Amino acid sequence: MSRTALRICPLCEATCGLTLTLGDGVVTGARGDREDVFSRGFICPKGAAFGALDSDPDRLTGPLVRRDGRLREATWEEAFDAIAAAVPAQVQEYGPQSVGVVLGNPNVHTMAGALYPPLLLKSLGTRNLFTASTLDQMPKHVSSGLLFGDPFAIPVPDLDRCDFLLLLGANPVESNGSLCTAPDFPGRLKALRARGGTLVVVDPRRTRTAALADRHLAPRPGSDALLLAALAHTLIEEKLADPGALEEHCDDIGELGVALGSFTPEAVAPACDLTAAEIRTLARELAAAPTAAVYARIGSCTVEFGTLASWLVDVLNILTGNLDRPGGALFPLSATAPAGRPAGPGKGFALGRWSSRVSGHPEVKGELPMAALAEEIETRGDGRIRVLLAIAANPVLSAPDGDRLDRALAGLDFMVSIDPYLNETSRHAHVVLPPPPPSQSAHFDFAFNGFAVRNQVRYSPAALPPADGRMDECEIHARLILAVSGLHGAPPEAVDERVIADSLARAVTDPRSPLHGGDPQELARLLTGSTGPERRLDLMLRTGPYDLTLDDLRQAPHGIDLGPLQPRLPGVLKTRSGRIELLPDPIAAELPRLRGALADRPAALVLVGRRHLRSNNSWLHNVPALTGGSNRCTLQVHPQDADRLGLVDGGQARVTADGGSLEVPVEVTDAIRSGVVSLPHGWGHDRAGSRLSVAAAAPGVNVNQLLDGTRMDRLSGTAVLNGFPVELTPLP
């Protein structure tokens, strides 16, 4: 007999509520949950393919352990024994820095990935942490850290109420949004226009999002910081800046005009390949709109001046008075955020507290650049990474120069992957620990509730019981922590109970906590979860801002709406001054380099990425329902460029850049501007030793092979993945 279960979709940041149909221990169907308080029935093709992905026959069903050079099926006990035998001894001999940790994107989509990595890092004591953030949103963390004192204080556009949305370097109609959790992003954009609002999209490609816009500007890639600086300059110069009530929270407003002095629309126009008039008009419209939000993502982050662009986005929101006001850009307040702290000076945000060993890249938010991982493994000497723990990460495809990383991983003394697949990265592991499919895992969005356009909270218990021989991913993490820290064999619950005891000890002595003055033991007994992670969630809800418990969430399976976003200044500020530091020193020090870019002679041809609705980074190409059709790894080229270079639609071309060259199928289309070509990432599934039968049949090429890892946004250590120079030659 079939039954249904509700499950938040973990496949992208939109966090849609799904209704799964279950039959005989498998998911047989998925549709949007119409009663979901946030997504109200919205679903995309990936969510609809939940069942196919969940029961992909290539998913690993149990751990693998390398013996005599080959990965073989093993028991969980053997797997953790192997880790306990290898890692503590390595740490003993070579020190904690000899262990590197790589955290990939799906960690923000699992409870395990949210709850355990901080403990793992603490128990290891290593500073060699590399995450997908330095291939992604790290510039935004840095700009928020500097402006607001908290790298996680990221304002999100108030999509449902704003009158004017300036959207740069994002394509939410395909990606479904990022750092702006909004189920049915496309519908929300249409609603914005239907209520008389204006949408302006800035993207070198005429994307499906651009097609929804009132206006589409297609500047030269990599020039967003210049464009945004000119917008800010114009607001100041034309006396259109009106921060209003924000003024009392801001330092350095006066100095901004001087700092941005050289970035006139006329000066930046050639570098952006826009006209000065277009830029001035946009600035005036932004200022004139009753409410407006500027929002930028991947295309503005993973470029040379990603941090400056991210900073300027919020500068514009501040100069127009739109930060922290309804209809503008607001700070969400999630149900598991720690209870409010009083306004006033905080600890601030520091960059570069230590540096990477080989190239001296400054630490950012406790991380080193993913683009520097290979050299940290390869380069001999004290502190070399010899052991790697890769959790939900596929850097061989997602980071620059996968071939080099591939060789580096092959040379490790020991590697562990927590991954459902044997893929380009995990095939190098000595131990692979596969989590169960998502239907067998509980879900809570610790990360995305903090970036959502509406405050709300939802919990999904596991839809199906664990299949035979399956271990919950939270338990895998807990056991890994014990195994690497010499506590192999201790009960995994001990990890959670320790966290709970520590958190309670802090809460009862914190006058701002709702649990202040309580008895820790008694409070621990009140926690209702049936597993460690559930009890930890319950505790976080109880110490959070909404007076909620896990039971409340269980009784509201479609979620609890906590209302529209509210102004939160000055409470969110944690800068040393207790104010918004509008022109922080590291930013001011970077502006001369941006000024230098005004005179740069742009390359004739640069490459940008793109995302397809039916794909997701590197790991969704093994589901037949999602691959094929237009979801393919082609090089998009504008007709003029194709003519000039002698390329034809359906033909082959060689693309060459700093890092190497690739042979790719050409797709001629006027949906991309001339001087720019586009190749998606996450492809290149042709490495031996992977177990991805569908993906291997249409492998595509790995765009990141074109990069050697030296191009970075200096302030954040984020790899430049967009707007790098390439050359094209036709192939017969």
Ligand X SMILES: Nc1nc2c(c(=O)[nH]1)N[C@H]1C(S)=C(S)[C@@H](COP(=O)(O)OP(=O)(O)OC[C@H]3O[C@@H](n4cnc5c(=O)[nH]c(N)nc54)[C@H](O)[C@@H]3O)O[C@H]1N2
Site of interaction with ligand X (CB under 6 A): 12-13, 104-106, 110, 132, 135-136, 168-172, 174-176, 178, 202-205, 207, 221-222, 224, 297-300, 303, 391-395, 398, 418-421, 423, 435, 473, 608-613, 615-619, 681-682, 703-704, 721-723
Q: Quick one: tokens of 475? A: 């338990």
Phi, psi of 377 (to 5 degrees): -85, -35
Amino acid letter, 386: R
The smaller minimum CB distance to ligand X, of residues 546 and 619, is found at 619
Q: Which of residues 182-201 bind ligand SF4 (CB under 6 A)?
A: 183
Question: Whose Cβ is closer to ligand SF4: residue 12's or residue 335's?
Answer: 12
Residue 61 makes CB contacts below 8 A (sequence gap 6+) with 434, 467, 469, 470
Interface with ligand SF4 (CB under 6 A), residue from 7, 19, 33, 47: 47
The single residue among 6, 7, 15, 207 that binds ligand SF4, judged by CB under 6 A, is 15
Q: Which listed option, ligand SF4, Mo ion, ligand X, none, makes contact with residue 14 (CB within 5 to 8 Å by class)?
A: ligand SF4
Contact at 8 Å (CB) between 122 and 522? no
Task: For the CB of residue 440, give the shortest distance to Mo ion in the complex, in Å.
Answer: 25
Q: How far is CA 359 from CA 295, 376, 379, in A?
A: 33, 9, 10
User: Toward Mo ion, which CB reaches closer, 301 or 453?
Assistant: 301
Residue closer to ligand X, measured from CB, 138 or 587 = 138
Residue in 158, 133, 129, 154 with CA at minimum distance from that of residue 143: 154
By residue count, the chain amounts to: 732
Stretch touching ligand SF4 by CB under 6 A, among 9-17, 378-386, 650-658, 708-716: 9-17
Q: Which range binds ligand SF4 by CB under 6 A, 5-13, 363-371, 373-381, 521-529?
A: 5-13
What is the closest distance, in whole angstroms, from the C-beta atom of residue 557 to ligand X in the complex?
Answer: 22
CB of 541 to ligand SF4, least distance (A): 22
Q: Where are the alpha helices (DSSP H) in 633-677?
A: 639-645
Give the helix/strand (H/E) hosting 269.
Answer: helix 265-272
Region near ligand SF4 per CB under 6 A, out of 10-18, 102-110, 584-592, 722-730? 10-18
Using DSSP bridges, classify how beta strands 652-657 and 660-668 pair: parallel, antiparallel or unpaired: antiparallel
Q: What is the C-alpha to C-alpha distance for residues 149 and 160, in angstroms, rounded to an integer?
A: 27
Rounded to whole angstroms, how far apart are CA atoms 143 and 382? 33
The verdict on 384 binding ligand SF4 (CB under 6 A) reads no
Output the residue with the shortest Cβ distance to ligand SF4: 47
Query: Could you tell me the smallest distance in angstroms from the CB atom of residue 581 to ligand X?
Result: 26
SS (H, E, C) 590-627: HHHHHHHHCCCCCCCCEEECCCCCCCCCCCCCCCCCCC
Distances (CA, A) of 403 to 248, 396, 426: 52, 7, 14
Alpha-helix residue ranges (DSSP H) falling in 400-492: 402-410, 473-484
Shortest CB 105 distance to Mo ion, Å: 5
- Please say whether the beta carbons of 278 and 354 come within 8 A: no
The one among 98, 176, 178, 503 contacting ligand SF4 by CB under 6 A? 176
Structure tokens at 52: 């196919």
Residue nearest to ligand X (CB): 299
Please, what sign has the CA dihedral across residues 452, 623, 467, 485?
Answer: negative
Does position 136 bind Mo ion by CB under 5 A?
yes
Alpha-carbon gap, residue 363 to 353, rounded angstroms: 6
- 283 Cβ neighbours under 8 A, 6+ residues apart: 230, 231, 234, 235, 238, 240, 265
**One of 11, 372, 550, 692 touching ligand SF4 (CB under 6 A):** 11
Cα(728)–Cα(732) distance, integer angstroms: 13
Among Mo ion, ligand SF4, ligand X, none, residue 43 binds (CB under 5-8 Å by kind): ligand SF4
Per CB under 6 A, the segment of 14-22, 302-310, 374-382, 590-598 that binds ligand SF4 is: 14-22
Residue 674 near residue 667, CB atoms below 8 Å: no
Q: Which is nearer to ligand SF4, 175 or 425 (CB)?
A: 175
Q: Alpha carbon 247 to chain centroid distance? A: 31
Contact between residue 15 and residue 444 where contact means Cβ atoms under 8 Å apart: no
Q: How far is the CB of 614 from ligand SF4 (least distance, A)?
A: 10
Residue 554 CB neighbour total at 10 angstroms: 13
Nearer of residues 169 and 383 to ligand X, judged by Cβ: 169
Extract the tokens encoding 730: 């036709």
Q: What distance in Å separates the CA atoms of residue 180 and residue 296, rounded to the nearest whole number? A: 10
Binding of Mo ion by 376 (CB under 5 A):
no
Q: Which stretch binds ligand SF4 (CB under 6 A): 38-46, 94-102, 210-218, 291-299?
A: 38-46
Cis peptide before 570 (omega within 30 of 0): yes
Task: Determine, following the binding rule CB under 6 A, whether residue 27 of this chain makes contact with ligand SF4.
Answer: no
List, edge to edge, every strand of the sheet that includes 215-217: 215-217, 198-202, 164-168, 292-296
CB of 613 to ligand SF4, least distance (A): 8
Looking at the Cβ atoms of 173 and 540, the one nearer to Mo ion is: 173
Q: How far is the CB of 418 from ligand SF4 (least distance, A)?
A: 22
Task: List the single partner that 513 binds among ligand X, Mo ion, ligand SF4, none, CB under 5 to 8 Å by kind.
Answer: none
CB of 132 to ligand X, least distance (A): 4
Using the rule CB under 6 A, is 383 a contact of ligand SF4? no
In the bound state with ligand X, the residue whose beta carbon lies nearer, of 320 and 622, is: 622
Q: Which stretch binds ligand SF4 (CB under 6 A): 12-20, 75-83, 276-284, 416-424?
A: 12-20
Q: Is 44 in the site for ligand SF4 (CB under 6 A)?
A: yes
SS3 376: helix
Is residue 174 involved in binding Mo ion (CB under 5 A)? Answer: no
Which one of ligand SF4, Mo ion, ligand X, none interacts with residue 15, CB within 5 to 8 A by kind? ligand SF4
Residues that bind Mo ion (CB under 5 A): 136
Residues that bind ligand SF4 (CB under 6 A): 9, 11-12, 14-16, 43-44, 46-47, 176, 183
